[in-house]
Amino acid sequence: MQRAARVAAAAYLAVGGAASVRELDLAAQQWTLLNAARNISVPGAVPSHVHLDLLRAGVIEEPNLGLNDFDLRWVALSDWTYVSQIEGL
């Protein structure tokens, strides 16, 4: 089995697999956080968290303050999408 793995790795390298590896900094891209059901679209960040991006945009209050955690349950129960035009692909 190890021999097969070595042969596969050698074949991959022989056809230029290692030369085609590129690294992209996703944090440098512009991101948008979307929730279509609630018509919410705010600037996002990667890495981040939905609550943090909504807080930065002024959509929600601090989730860890008082009973806000209960009032903001809709955030956890909603579907969210991070969208970006990835530069350099």
| Sequence ranges of the domains in the chain | 24-89
Work out the average pLDDT over 67-88. Answer: 93
8 A C-beta contact, residue 66 and residue 72: no
Say what the pLDDT of residue 22 is.
81
How many helices and strands in the chain, by DSSP H and E? 4, 3
pLDDT digits (tens, 9 = 90+) for 50-66: 999 999 999 999 999 99
8 A C-beta contact, residue 50 and residue 42: no
Cα–chain-centroid distance for residue 17? 26
Rounded to the nearest integer, the mean pLDDT of the chain is 87
8 A C-beta contact, residue 10 and residue 76: no
Q: What is the percent of the chain with per-residue pLDDT over 90, rounded to a whole number? A: 64
Angle 79-84-85 (CA atoms, 0-180°, nearest 5)?
Answer: 145
